[in-house]
Amino acid sequence: MASKHMGAIWMVAMVFVLLNIVLCNGGKTSSYVRKSQSSGDLPIDAFPPPSGFNAPEQVHITQGDYDGRAMIISWVTPQERHPNVVTFWAAGSKHKHKSHSSISTYRYFTYSSGYIHHATIKHLEYDTLYFYELGDGDSIRQFSFRTPPKVGPEVPYTFGIIGDLGQTYDSNQTLEHYVANPNGQAMLFVGDLSYADDHPNHDNVRWDTWGRFVEKSTAYQPWIWTAGNHELDFAPEIGEKVPFKPYKHRYHVPYKASQSTSPLWYSIRRASAHIIVLSSYSAYGKYTPQYTWLDKELPKVNRTETPWLIVLLHSPWYNSNNYHFMEGESMRVMFESWFVKYKVDIVLAGHVHAYERSERISNVKYNITNGMSSPVKDPSAPIYITIGDGGNVEGIANSFTDPQPSYSAYREASFGHAILDIKNSTHAHYTWHRNQDNEAVAADSLWLYNRYTYPLEEHS
């Protein structure tokens, strides 16, 4: 009897060990320890306006059409509506062109905006350096940008990736690290810009200071914008009942070029990438405008021209942090099967103020009756990256679930930015750069293999 009893105990112990092996077969949780307290927003006077009367400020650019031959140039004039002209020319050319902006203003609670300008300059040459000027008299300011190469499958291109930036001391470190990186050509920004809504009455002055803060990058290379929850600015308690009001006034995107009905979801093609931007905070159920648009957009993607298919959204679908846990689940249920069907390469999200990279996994077999609710490895599925680690005022999300789930390849409660370096139609090199001791340390990296042209398994 004793031997049978011991055998039963041994069997129970082995089952316990095996269960723990299954539960603990996740990837790496970094041992790097980041201070948990937030650094606080930089003071307003840290972001002074440029010198000169009515000088244009908060300058930012984004792609202005579907394929990269147009640019939307946006700026604010604080005192007067005019001038509303952008002058631009190609490097080495004596022939200058002019384009006029649309002008708008808005009120938010007791705040009144400056004059917000958006001008779309068109018919640009590919892979060309352009200069542009805003303002007049002693307030003229000059900037530059380079257009992308012509769309094509073998075209190399390098994207920066940042999310949930804010305007703190930590935010400044993240932005400085990215600006110091000479490789980034355009920014994929996954939402949560100014964090003005974390201030009393959603103090919209913080939208102005954020625009000045990021201008060192946004005026010189296009930022591809995604709206996050901090762009909602929905505050009926102070009479503000229109969602996304400040964001939609300040940040224009070329949504009509991809037949979208809203600037909150749209797509562009740039070099060898087809980029789809979705809105986690707009309706996406069946028959809604966003659902209908994505249903039509995905079949249009031509992988022989743009082999890299990248999706930007804000609330992550796969997140092993207790912060915002499963908030993206309903959107995942709606769209994940489409992402697998069309072999999306990578999905970039923010929202959680930490960093995490998944394996290629899916949970598309699940329904409410079959009980098949565990993610499994899937070579047709995207890699999911959560990069809401820009450094905003709310601080770090340092509460990962334990044990680390099997789908999670690498995670770390730190701030930083990433670089996606597309080499050709088959390979891209991805690196995540931690803010550490005033340096951008490459803490995570991976060679990505394209799901359409070279669908082999990657290894960290």
Active-site residues, by number, are 324
CA dist., res. 131 & res. 71, Å (int): 12
Phi-psi region of 376 (alpha: psi -120 to 50; beta: other; left: phi over 0): beta
Rg of the chain in Å (alpha carbons)? 23
**Beta pairing class for 107-108 and 111-112:** antiparallel
Which stretch of DSSP H or E encloses residue 277?
strand 273-277
CA distances, 304 to each of 27, 250, 347, 425, 449 (Å)? 33, 35, 20, 9, 15
Return the DSSP state at 92: T
Q: What is the DSSP string of 354-376?
A: SEEEEEEEE-TT--TTT---S-E
**Beta pairing class for 28-29 and 408-412:** parallel
C-alpha closest to that of 219 among 280, 142, 113, 126: 142
For 158-170, b/e burial (b = at least 16 CB within 10 A) is bbbbbbbbbbbeb
CB atoms within 10 A of CB 26: 20
Q: Which residues fall within 8 angstroms of residue 94, CB to CB, at 6 or more apart? A: none
Task: Using CB atoms within 10 Å of the CB of residue 50, give its burial: 0 to 12 exposed, 13 to 18 middle, 19+ buried.
Answer: middle
